[in-house]
Amino acid sequence: MNPVFARRSFILGSGMVLSGLGLASRGEAAAPPDTLVVGIAADPTGFDPEAVLNNTSGFVMATVFDGLMKYKPGTTDPEPGLAQSYEVSPDGLTYTFRLRPNVSFHDGTPLNAKTYLAGIDRLLNKANPNYIYNTGPVEGYIDFTYGSLASYTAKDDMTVVFVLKAPSAPFLTSLAMVWNGVASPTAAAKYGKSFRQHPVGTGPFIFREWRPRDAILLDANPGYWNGRPKVGKLVFKEYPDPSAGLLALKNGDMHIWADTNTELLPAIRADRDLTILTQPGLAVSGVGMPCDTPPFTDVRVRQAFNYAVDKNAMDKALYQGLAAPMTSPLPASEWSFDPSLKGYPYDPAKAKSLLAAAGVAPGFAVELLAYNSGRGYNPVGPDLAVAVQGYLEKVGVKVTVRKIEFGAYLTTIRSSKYKGMFLVGWTGDNGDPDNFLNALFGGSNIPVTDTVRYRNPVLDALFVKGLKSNSHAERVKIYQRAQRIILDAAPWIFINSVLQVRAVSNRVKGYQLNPTQMFFDMEKVSLT
């Protein structure tokens, strides 16, 4: 049995059955009253924030660790976290952080300049006996965050100073990412290679046990600096099958479904004891066109493809209305998003005339490569490719959809040799526009993240300027100009930006989604 097929049939089948039966009764006794249970779909790979990189690990780590900065609840705007306050020098090169007093790691190690910098040294100093790269594979954001760092020093017991080699406007936001959670240097030294299985931070919950492919158990941190958590225990419980996850949610075995399956939303909506929370996410999804390969070297062809696709209809039919058409290369949740841009409306006649003008004859054939399963930025996976195929055929383009496994897909589109179109998408890391526009369309990122091989010197110069600027207003202008250039150049068929969707039990109070999808501020969540 093909497991993908089995799983898919299973989800669809169960959705129908669950709605059809109209199950009224509550089942098995629910989780203990003081225990908040978050349902996850996959197994984490470890909990060292700087070493592992996947959402599930991030979900857990957001409750165990704090960053020097944090996101304001529900946003990607940074505010002081373990730092009580900070200052940035006028040249944008020196960052001074005053640490929060009376904070301890879960193992009792006090947070001060010495212990904080010991953690930074573990990441950056090859001579450090606990150097993180000696503990196993490192997938994290060390280069991303600290790549421009010239020095890190203690000004006094509770003050640390970072000096950058070049101004990096996103530095503060990056420090708030879950991947820059501050780990206890004592525990990192004690556990060494297995620290990623024994995380110790300063966060609202204390790690107790990880049962692989089953559950992660955490206890409330009664001395948490931002207030004692309102539940006694937190459990991340794995439900690899979405239908079983839904039953657990309905039964009261699960309270927040981190990986809510959107195909089951009708059944969730039908249950009055459940609520669906949504929020504009940090995701964009589309179809990439190889900008160095004819006929896609001609901007008219790329624009034609954008006009050929009815994004509104697709959002309704495929995404159950849980996505917004892209009118800009940035998602609407981004602070520099330009609301005056209107994107490409559905206009097949215009698409045909643009194709004719570019000399693309009807019957032009092209392959469209798709990953074979849903992604965070595109929950319907390859179905998007099939929908685009249908629209392009209406304007005389013959599209062959080829579905392959995600690893193979990534290797192919990053080979620089692939000549077809492909599904493409991105989820922002820190909430900064550079992390979208430069990553996806900056010439220096060809072919790894700029997979469409789009290069524009004017745009690249804007990105350099945007990184250097210390002024928020100036950065907004820079990135709005960049959005316009990219939108006109149309290296992608800009499809949509999916909403973050999570189903929760009505017993859950005080829970707020964050655009990064991470479980921040969980000390505020209670169960009634």
Which residues in 380-409 contact other proteins (CB under 8 A)? 404-409
Q: Which two tokens stand for residue 39?
A: 């349902």
Quick check: 314 binds other proteins (CB under 8 A)? no
Pattern 48-67, other proteins, x by CB under 8 A: ----xxx-------------
Q: In angstroms, how far is CA 148 from the centroid of its own chain?
A: 23
Give the span between the Cα atoms of 274 and 272, in whole angstroms.
5
- Using rule CB under 8 A, residue 411 touches other proteins: yes
Cis peptide before 167 (omega within 30 of 0): no
Between 18 and 103, CB nearer to other proteins: 18
Pairing of strands 233-238, 35-40: parallel
> Could you say whether residue 198 binds other proteins (CB under 8 A)?
no
Dist. CA 442–CA 454, nearest whole Å: 7
17 binds other proteins (CB under 8 A): yes
Which listed range, 23-31, 102-110, 111-119, 306-314, lies at the site for other proteins (CB under 8 A)?
Answer: 23-31
Q: Do 229 and 252 form a contact (C-beta atoms < 8 A)?
A: no
Pick out residues in 462-521 that bind other proteins (CB under 8 A): none
d(CA 86, CA 260): 37
197 three-class SS: helix
With CB under 8 A as the contact rule, the residue among 190, 230, 233, 507 that binds other proteins is 233
Q: How far is CA 303 from CA 159, 162, 396, in A?
A: 52, 45, 15
Told to check if 417 binds other proteins by CB under 8 A, we report: no
Residues 200-219 that bind other proteins (CB under 8 A): 211-215
Distance CA 150, CA 155 (A): 16
DSSP letter string, 125-150: -TTSTT-GGGSS---SSHHHHHTTEE
The number of CA neighbours under 13 Å toward the Cβ of 152 is: 18
What is the SS3 string spanning 7-62?
A: HHHHHHHHHHHHHHHCCCCCCCCCCCCCEEEEEECCCCCCCCCCCCCCHHHHHHHH
416 is a contact residue toward other proteins (CB under 8 A): no
**Least distance to other proteins, CB of residue 117, Å:** 24
Figure out which of the listed residues 73, 84, 121, 136 binds other proteins, where binding follows CB under 8 A. Answer: 136
Read off the DSSP letter of residue 306. H
Q: Of 417, 448, 461, 509, which one interacts with other proteins (CB under 8 A)?
A: 448
User: Which of 414, 455, 477, 507 touches other proteins by CB under 8 A?
Assistant: 414
Cβ nearer to other proteins, comparing 87 with 273: 273
Smallest gap, in angstroms, from Cβ of residue 223 to other proteins? 23
**Which of 212, 390 has the CB closer to other proteins?**
212
Q: Are 220 and 232 in contact (CB under 8 A)?
A: yes
Q: Does 131 bind other proteins (CB under 8 A)?
A: no
| Partners of 498 in beta bridges | 323
Specify the DSSP element, H or E, that contains 476.
Answer: helix 472-489
Among 181, 425, 433, 466, binds other proteins (CB under 8 A): 425
Q: Which is nearer to other proteins, 249 or 368 (CB)?
A: 249
Q: Does 412 bind other proteins (CB under 8 A)?
A: yes
Q: Which of 70, 100, 198, 237 binds other proteins (CB under 8 A)?
A: 237
28 interacts with other proteins by CB under 8 A: yes
Residue count at the site for other proteins (CB under 8 A)? 76
Residue 221 C-beta: closest distance to other proteins, Å = 18
- Interacting span for other proteins (CB under 8 A) from 47-55, 109-117, 465-473, 485-493: 47-55
Which of 106, 198, 250, 502 touches other proteins by CB under 8 A? 250
Nearer to other proteins by Cβ, of 107 and 143: the residue is 143
Figure out which of the listed residues 89, 148, 449, 456 binds other proteins, where binding follows CB under 8 A.
449
User: CB neighbours of 409 closer than 8 A, spacing ≥ 6?
Assistant: 369, 370, 371, 372, 422, 423
> Among the candidate windows 25-33, 169-177, 184-192, 385-393, which touches other proteins by CB under 8 A?
25-33
> Is residue 139 at the binding interface for other proteins, with CB under 8 A as the rule?
yes
